[in-house]
């Protein structure tokens, strides 16, 4: 018995398809796909969510002192002349950062192996590069999804059959986060 379904694709196509569908499932919360693809995506997504639940509180908060460039009213850096050269003026600021434990860092890197980078484009600027922002799905897994499933022992996704597809009669399902 095979460990996974081949889905009629070569290894690189299959891997790309599954990565894309897992990324979309975690970003949107639900996807519509065929039953066999959904069962494969479910395995990967449940593994990622379980990893996030296991490592969600495995960090320490550290206060650091950072140098930040001083800015004027227009948002430009303030410069002053020192020894005949223009030098940017810096202020020291206290910042709180999350420092991952080694196991959480490893989990984050394992997630990044599977998830594609996601760019969110506002509807007003559709088709333009302006105002697009990069969504960190690993951070979303740790901060939004994992706390929701902290008291649950597996079974983070649900498959609901919606009937055969019109073109080829393949069974279509909705795969969603519970």
77 bridge partner residues:
71
- pLDDT-derived band at 125 (thresholds 50, 70, 90) equals low
- pLDDT-derived band at 123 (thresholds 50, 70, 90) equals confident
Percent of the chain with pLDDT over 90: 83
For 40-91, what is each residue's pLDDT tens digit? 999 999 999 999 999 999 999 999 999 999 999 888 999 998 888 999 999 9
Q: What is the pLDDT of residue 116?
A: 97
Q: What is the pLDDT of residue 130?
A: 73
Q: Is the pTM of this model over 0.95?
A: no
């Amino acid at each position: 018995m095979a460990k996974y379904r081949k889905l009629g694709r070569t290894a690189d196509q299959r891997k790309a398809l599954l990565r894309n569908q897992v990324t979309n499932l975690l970003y949107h919360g639900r996807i519509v796909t065929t039953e066999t693809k959904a069962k494969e995506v479910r395995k990967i997504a449940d593994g990622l969510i379980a990893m996030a639940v296991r490592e969600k509180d495995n960090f320490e908060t550290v206060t650091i002192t950072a140098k930040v460039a001083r800015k004027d009213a227009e948002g430009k850096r303030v410069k002053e002349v020192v020894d005949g050269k223009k030098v940017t003026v810096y202020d020291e600021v206290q910042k709180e950062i999350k420092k991952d434990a080694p196991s959480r860092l490893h989990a984050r890197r394992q997630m990044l192996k599977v998830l594609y980078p996601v760019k969110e484009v506002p509807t007003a600027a559709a088709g333009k590069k302006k105002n697009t922002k990069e969504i960190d799905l690993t951070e979303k897994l740790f901060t939004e999804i994992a706390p929701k499933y902290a008291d649950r022992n597996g079974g983070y996704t649900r498959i609901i059959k919606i009937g055969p597809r019109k073109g080829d009669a393949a069974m279509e399902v909705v795969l969603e986060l519970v």
